[in-house]
Copies of this chain bind each other. A is one copy, B any other.
Amino acid sequence: MADVKSEPAQSFLRDEELRQAIELLFFAYRDFTAEPDAILAKWKFGRAHHRVIYFVGRHPQISVTELLGILKITKQSLSRVLGQLVRDAYIVQRPGLRDRRQRLLELTERGKELERQLSETQRALIARAYRAAGGGSVEGFRKVLLGMINEEDRRRFPRPLTGTGPR
């Protein structure tokens, strides 16, 4: 139970506001993934492949363990998807120099091309939304999403804005 009666208007508005956020996230995420999903279908790949390609592209030389940490899936789940991408030459693996047990992952040219194609649709979608919302909104968007992310992964996102470091 727990509502309406006990705290009349204030909690009702609050609940409504929060539910709107739930729905915004649902619809936005659904549309956010729709285009890449369609592209991937042509290659007989799925969303899981996209995630792997994206993060390998983002972090060249990433180790399998690190990638598992980002995706939060099991080794076996990753293995099937990663195996396909390696076999089809979208990703290459090579032993780490410091630690030769590692298989460091990197996109091939082919992989980069697919990555570009996939993320382009998403970047365009976000760019459009950013433009429509106006510059002031972007900061709020980032802050709220950041607040939804667990402490640990939050550290992946540097300072207040895209600016700071050299890089």
Contacts and interface: CB of A to CB of B under 8 A. Distances in A.
Contacts of A167: 9-10, 13
Interface residues of A, number: 65
A2 B115 CA distance: 13
Interface string A150-167: 100100110001110111
Interface stretch (A38-46, A82-90, A98-106, A121-129): A121-129
B22 A123 contact: yes
A119 B31 contact: no
A116 B19 CA distance: 11
18 contacts: A2-B116, A9-B165, A10-B167, A17-B138, A17-B163, A19-B123, A22-B123, A25-B28, A28-B145, A125-B148, A126-B148, A129-B147, A130-B147, A132-B143, A133-B140, A133-B144, A134-B143, A140-B140
